[in-house]
Amino acid sequence: MSLRTDLVTAVLGVWFGIGLMIDAWAHSNLDGELETFFTPWHAAFYSGFAAVSGWIIWQVWRNVRAGRQGLAAVPQGYLAGLVAVPAFAAFGFADMMWHTLLGIETTIDILFSPSHLGLVTSMLIIITTPLRSAWNAPDVGARPTLGRLLPALIGLAFATTLVSLFLSYGDALQWRAPRVVEAFSFLDNGGADRLATTIALTNIVLLAPVLLLVRRWRLPFGSVTLMYALAVLMPGAQTAFDNVPILLSVVAGGLAADLLILWLRPSAGRRFAFWAFAGLSSFATWSLYLGFASATGGGLPGIPEMWTGAPIVAGLIGLLLGALFLPNATGQGDLVDPPVDDRA
């Protein structure tokens, strides 16, 4: 598909994703007012689904009218998204029936509802369509420009927000700066345990999509900053953006990751550079997280072992994740050749 087509797909996916963020904001901040499935928040969400699914179906229909038949009518990278469209509609109907018969979830149970899990899984497949399209596109190349890779970055970043939403109970980006400082200042209230756990989990959620892209392409400068800036929108919506310093620290972590890519040049053919990037970018992100929290939340936490050791633990987890993504160099030099064509 052309860049323009993928960009439209990505923009409509943004509509879809922001609709979910609005719904997440409502569930987090208007608990007592959600008594029915038919709400303005659901309207924003499902209208986004209608827009992006209609666009995907239209691309297939155009090819059918041009004489292509069967799978040949499905644009490269769009098959999985096309299959996910009716799946999402089915889970949407199931969600309506679930709410009608069993009521509206208002706490952590919303993240474990079977209909919601089906919705988020099919939604993730739909909004990552531009990524799959770009993965094998002949005009992308091993060193794409930021503009050419933009639809893929947007799609994967919004997919990251979906994962963070359904792991909200372990999301370090929802903490406010004073609470971060307090948690790492005392050991007897359980706050330090909870914060350390959420940092470890959120580190994986943020880093894994980046490592996937770094393994495939030499990312242009600004890619990780853009992805992290989009990734913080979901926890921002859930907290009504009451924790802006924490969110900004993660965006700063994305900038640090972009600088590390310029310095280390990580790729599938440079295993040790890839591992170093995974570890150092995690260390930088969570050092900035604690630095921003300390600067805006009342000073350094009271337990030096926690605020000095937490970024190191994050870096070690990043290093391990890098080794899992790339246990061996590909032997294909600095960058990887395009993989075999796969329409899904």
* Distance of alpha carbon 223 from alpha carbon 321, whole angstroms: 20
pLDDT tens-digit series, residues 215-238 = 999 999 999 999 999 999 989 988
* Distance of alpha carbon 54 from alpha carbon 192, whole angstroms: 47
* Distance of alpha carbon 311 from alpha carbon 280, whole angstroms: 10
Q: Find out whether 206 and 171 touch, Cβ atoms under 8 Å.
A: no
What's this model's pTM, rounded to 2 decimal places?
A: 0.89
Written as six digits, the tokens of 70 are 């069967």
**pLDDT score of 28:** 67
The answer to whether residue 338 scores a pLDDT higher than 50 is no
CA distances from 221 to 67, 147, 153, 262, 302 (A): 41, 11, 12, 7, 37
* Distance of alpha carbon 304 from alpha carbon 252, whole angstroms: 23
Q: What percent of the chain has pLDDT over 70?
A: 89
Radius of gyration of the chain (CA): 21
pLDDT tens-digit series, residues 252-293 = 999 999 999 999 999 999 999 999 999 999 999 999 999 999
Closest by Cα among 133, 125, 126 to 150: 133
**pLDDT score of 2:** 84
* Distance of alpha carbon 134 from alpha carbon 258, whole angstroms: 20
pLDDT tens-digit series, residues 38-85 = 567 667 778 888 999 999 999 999 999 888 888 888 999 999 999 999
* Distance of alpha carbon 196 from alpha carbon 303, whole angstroms: 13
- H helical segments located in the chain: 3-29, 40-65, 79-102, 114-127, 129-135, 146-166, 177-183, 191-216, 223-231, 233-238, 244-264, 271-297, 304-325
**pLDDT score of 339:** 47
* Distance of alpha carbon 288 from alpha carbon 222, whole angstroms: 18
**pLDDT score of 337:** 46
- Range with lowest mean pLDDT among 145-149, 226-230, 331-335: 331-335
What is the average pLDDT across 86-95?
89
| Angle at CA of residue 140, ends 5 and 144, nearest 5° | 115
**pLDDT score of 344:** 46
